A and B are shown apart, each in its own frame.
Chain A
Amino acid sequence: MRKILLASSTAFLLCLSSAQAQERKLVISVYGFAQDAFKTILYDPFEAKCGCKVVVETGNSVERLAKLEANKNAPVIDMAVVATPDALAASRANLIEPIDVSKLTNYDKLYDVAKDPIGGHLSVGYTFYATSIVYRSDKVTINSWNDLFSKELAGRVAFPNVTTNQGPPTLYMIGKAMGQNTPDLKAPIEKVAEHKDDFVTFYVRSSQLTQLMQQDEIWAAPIGRFAWEGFAKMNLPIKWATPKEGQTGGMNVMILTKGAKNKELAYQFMDFWLSTEIQTKLAEKLIDSPANKEVKLDPKIADNLTYGEETAKSLDLQPADAILDNRESWISQWNAKVGQ
């Protein structure tokens, strides 16, 4: 018995130390969706190229930001991709450092909007997306953001939670449709509260929606274009709405953690991700719309993405600082009116 115990505790210590003694590894923090595709298109080729190991942490933007802040004194993440307001929050909390863009060979190929989204070269945009409504075209038609509240859709809509990246932009467009477009989003939040029992759920991760759509649980949901791929391959008549108030959207950016242990690898990885080759591959899989202007896409694919600077400019975006400055008050309003 004692021998077994001794042997097994040695084995355990070995397990522990081997987990630590990785020679070169890059730790990244990314969104959880489409990880299979990211692995084959991005991580595996990069691992082969750099001879290092890519360790991935997944989660939504806000959650991962909170984790970054908790580990502030001993950062584990080298680079992260987040939404612009979260990048701004990270910079205000002093969690990130400026990116030396001279180290990114593909930097000049980026669209101008992606070059320095929050200023101070604290971030680099790698993709932008439109936010609109996916819907079952055999059941309803959607021409306006107000249609989310229509009778036909009562009990058939999943609405983004206010804490997600899609929440505030959606509320913003609803406010616009109502003609009450104040930055405090008071009117749209009240409207959602009024109809809260008509929403199936307030989703936190858009990836969950494909299952709900498939199960006939929902017929419509406001989503970012990056989540469209899951719907596009379904055997259901599903459309991307072009509401008369326009579409909103957002941008995802790369940030570099302050005190990152593997800065050089992080730069190599960012550059690789921004390269025309990788951006094209990710676009062709309908995952991320390219921020690299050299990416040339088949029109059929471009139609399913947010392709080109013109498209990006046509989006009605909330500025990152407006989102960040108001977020606390939106969340507390939401919790008070919708949450209970």
Chain B
Amino acid sequence: MFQSRAESLALVLPAMLFAAVIFIAPVLILLSEGLRPAGSWSLTYYISFFTTPLNLTVFLRTLKLGALVTVSAAVIGYAAALCIVNLSPKGRGQMVGLIVLPLMISPVARTYAWIVILGRTGIVNQALGALGLTDAPLRILFSETAIFIGLLQLFLPLMIISLVSALENMPRDAISAARVLGANWLQVFWKVILPLTKEGLVIGGTLVFTGSLTAYITPAILGGSKVLMLETLLYQRVTIANDFASASVIAMILIVMSFSANLLLKRLATARAKR
């Protein structure tokens, strides 16, 4: 360990200054603007934001979709991750590679595909019709369902990867031991797998949840102006009406949610370190 204060300061200073001036200061000013209508501290903007029914609907919809996507990603993620860890080490590596792959592709491209797939003449409706499950093509585009599907596809890889690494760290014989002792699969999952992979679930869940809250492209392309989410609402308020009051309130909501999710993560990490 080197000990010179001045040296260490010189090393971190450029990055700190950059982050402070370019990043932290403007964001803080933006947030404070929402708390200071007409130059004095007050919650006026917040009250008027939340008492506008449209805003409240959008806020609740964003939370609801975020939660739904997270839960679905967890369910599918466990199924997929359990399959993956049972593969040979080589197969496991390839599978993880394939799952990471979509993360490298532009989200515009990934979301764009759904317009074709989910349309009334798209393959989803064609398949449903051919199977006799629907009489007439379903209207999926520009709905919460479309946004849900788009977000799930965007963020599922993060959940799977987190769960795979959690399952890999689990004691190998835990599952077979429980099976030998007569537990059925459901019990094994609830009593053994879930408690032992809780941290992976929380990490994955945080990433998926905050990702869903702060996604812009998916609600913009698949929801349009009929099904707004917080990010698209923010964009609309600024671009159509120069309404920085609402923008600041939405920014605060997004930051607070994302921040608390990250705090939760950190808590968990330190709890693990102490153990």
Contact = CB atoms under 8 A, between A and B. Distances in A.
Interface of A: 59, 62-63, 66-67, 69-70, 155, 161, 163, 199-204, 211, 215-217, 331, 335-336, 339-340
A251 to B, nearest CB: 21
Contacts of B242: 66, 69-70
30 contacts: A62-B240, A69-B242, A155-B139, A161-B225, A163-B225, A163-B240, A200-B139, A200-B141, A200-B142, A201-B141, A201-B225, A201-B226, A202-B224, A202-B226, A203-B225, A204-B224, A204-B225, A211-B115, A215-B119, A215-B121, A216-B119, A216-B120, A217-B119, A217-B121, A335-B53, A336-B52, A336-B54, A339-B54, A340-B57, A340-B58
B270 interface: no
Interface in B211-225: 224-225
A216 to B, nearest CB: 5
Interface in B109-150: 115-116, 119-122, 137, 139, 141-142
Contact of B240 (A66, A203, A215, A339): A66
Interface of B: 52-54, 57-58, 115-116, 119-122, 137, 139, 141-142, 224-226, 228, 236, 238-242
The winner among B58, B137, B224 for most chain A CB atoms within 10 A is B224
A202 B225 contact: yes
Closest CB pairs A-B (n = 7): A340-B57, A201-B142, A215-B119, A339-B54, A335-B54, A63-B239, A201-B224
Contacts of A204: 224-225
A201 B142 CA distance: 6
Contacts of B228: 339
A232 B26 CA distance: 49
B121 A66 contact: no
A215 B140 CA distance: 13
Nearest to A336: B53
A329 to B, nearest CB: 13
Given A163-B236, A200-B139, A215-B119, 15 more contacts: A62-B239, A63-B240, A66-B241, A69-B242, A163-B225, A199-B226, A203-B224, A204-B224, A204-B225, A216-B120, A216-B137, A217-B119, A217-B121, A217-B139, A331-B241
Q: Which of B121, B240, B242 has the most CB of A within 10 A?
A: B240
Contacts of A66: 238-242
A6 to B, nearest CB: 16
Contacts of B239: 59, 62-63, 66-67
Q: Which of B120, B121, B122, B141 has most chain A Cβ within 10 Å?
A: B120
Contacts of A199: 226
Nearest to B57: A340
Contacts of B225: 161, 163, 201-204
A331 B141 CA distance: 24
Contacts of A217: 119-121, 139, 141
A69 B242 CA distance: 8
Contacts of A211: 115
A192 to B, nearest CB: 12
Contacts of A201: 141-142, 224-226
Q: Which among B120, B142, B226 has the greatest number of chain A C-beta atoms within 10 A?
A: B226
B260 to A, nearest CB: 26
Contacts of A340: 53-54, 57-58
Contacts of B57: 339-340
A47 B122 CA distance: 43
A203 B58 CA distance: 18
Contacts of B142: 200-201
Most buried by B among A66, A163, A203, A340: A340
Nearest to A334: B54
Nearest to A208: B224
Nearest to B237: A66
Nearest to B60: A340
Nearest to A201: B142
